[in-house]
Amino acid sequence: MVVSSLTDRIAQVELRIANALSKVHRRREEITLIAVTKVFPSSAIRDAYEAGLREFGENYVQEFETKRPELGKLDGARFHLIGHLQSNKARRAVDLFHCVQTVDTPKLARRLNDLETNLDVMIEVHLSGEEAKSGALPEKLPALVEAVRACDRLHLVGLMTMPSWSENAELARPYFARLRELAGRFSLPGLSMGMSNDFDVAIEEGATHIRVGTALFGPRRFA
Ligand SMILES: *Cc1c(COP(=O)(O)O)cnc(C)c1O
């Protein structure tokens, strides 16, 4: 079995990004590659940082709270919260993350805004029709965008979504297209969409932030 190194895997991901970009005549600077390090130890973040990655995604406040002190100072690194945030963890989230991608209620937005720190945020949109997933329904967006824009410490970067996982990346395409259409309606530049199996399609559909775990770090072993 060939065990590929992190640098090889980064190169493979970069190749896929380049191929997708060339199909739609977009440029590499338009894409932020977020390395998703949930479940992996802090050493994985450090290794990725040393390999040149600067943007990281974590799903759980509590998990990252234990990993963050082990990382020391990582100049220029930025951390994104990409998992659901409960209001009662807002304070801790703001201390740990540069961007919260999962704002899904006006209440959460106001809670974050009250914490007296400037913060990048994205609104998570629930598109896939599955229950048990977080995110705001599209019909809630006008009020939610307005509420976030009224928060003077929050900088609204764009929209984020996570379609249900499928072997076939093409099945995610309509969801990505829909997110782009919604972002356009509110003049939002950022689109966080696409994971290891479908970020190529997401880039074709306009993604600005792709969230990649498995393709960089290998499969996660769940406890
Ligand atoms: C885990 C996760 C990812 C990364 O998924 P991979 O398939 O491992 O690339 C991206 N976004 C969110 C919200 C996640 O929870």
Q: Could you read off the pLDDT of 108-127 as tens digits, one per residue? A: 999 999 998 899 999 999 99
Q: Is pLDDT above 70 for 131?
A: no
Q: Is pLDDT above 60 for 1?
A: no
Say how far apart CA 56 and CA 58 lie, in whole Å: 7
Alpha helices in 58-134 (DSSP H): 61-71, 90-96, 106-113
**215 and 12 Cβ atoms separated by less than 8 Å:** yes
Ligand 1 touching residue 136 (CB < 6 A): no
Other C-beta atoms closer than 10 Å to the C-beta of 100 total: 28
**Ligand 1 pocket test, candidate residues 211, 217, 222, most atoms within 8 A of CB:** 211
**126 and 164 Cβ atoms separated by less than 8 Å:** no
**126 and 175 Cβ atoms separated by less than 8 Å:** no
Q: What is the mean pLDDT of the chain?
A: 95
Say how far apart CA 219 and CA 82 lie, in whole Å: 18
Q: Is pLDDT above 90 for 161?
A: yes
Say how far apart CA 178 and CA 106 lie, in whole Å: 22
* Model confidence pTM above 0.85: yes
Ligand 1 touching residue 207 (CB < 6 A): no
pLDDT of residue 128: 80
- How large a percentage of the chain has pLDDT more than 90? 90
Q: Output the CA 79–ligand 1 centroid distance in Å.
A: 14
User: Structure tokens of 159?
Assistant: 């929209």
Q: Is pLDDT above 50 for 68?
A: yes
Phi, psi for residue 6 in degrees, rounded to 5: -60, -40
User: Structure tokens of 136?
Assistant: 């705001």
**Ligand 1 pocket test, candidate residues 13, 33, 36, most atoms within 8 A of CB:** 36
Say how far apart CA 83 and CA 116 lie, in whole Å: 22
Say how far apart CA 91 and CA 89 lie, in whole Å: 6
User: Structure tokens of 25?
Assistant: 């005549």
Half-sphere exposure of residue 80, counting CA atoms within 13 Å on the CB side?
Answer: 26
* pLDDT confidence bin for 168, thresholds 50/70/90: very high
Say how far apart CA 35 and CA 90 lie, in whole Å: 22
Q: Which helix (H) or strand (E) holds 200?
A: helix 199-204
Q: Is pLDDT above 70 for 2?
A: no
Other C-beta atoms closer than 10 Å to the C-beta of 67 total: 22
State the average pLDDT over residues 183-198.
Answer: 98
Q: Output the CA 88–ligand 1 centroid distance in Å.
A: 24
Q: Could you read off the pLDDT of 79-110 as tens digits, one per residue? A: 999 999 999 999 999 999 999 999 999 999 99
Lowest mean pLDDT among 51-60, 130-139, 193-202: 130-139
